[in-house]
Amino acid sequence: MPTVAIVAGVLIVLYFNDHDPAHFHAICGRDKMLVRISDLAVIRGDLPRDKRRAVLEWAAAKQADLALAWVRVRQDENPGRLD
Tell me whether residue 31 is exposed, middle or buried, using C-beta atoms within 10 angstroms of its C-beta: 0 to 12, 13 to 18, 19 or more.
Answer: middle
Residue 64 to residue 29: CA distance in whole angstroms: 27
Residues facing 31 on adjacent strands: 28
Which pLDDT band, with edges at 50, 70 and 90, does 1 fall under? confident
Residue 56 to residue 58: CA distance in whole angstroms: 5
Q: What is the pLDDT of residues 26-63, one digit of tens each?
A: 999 999 999 999 999 999 999 999 999 999 999 999 99
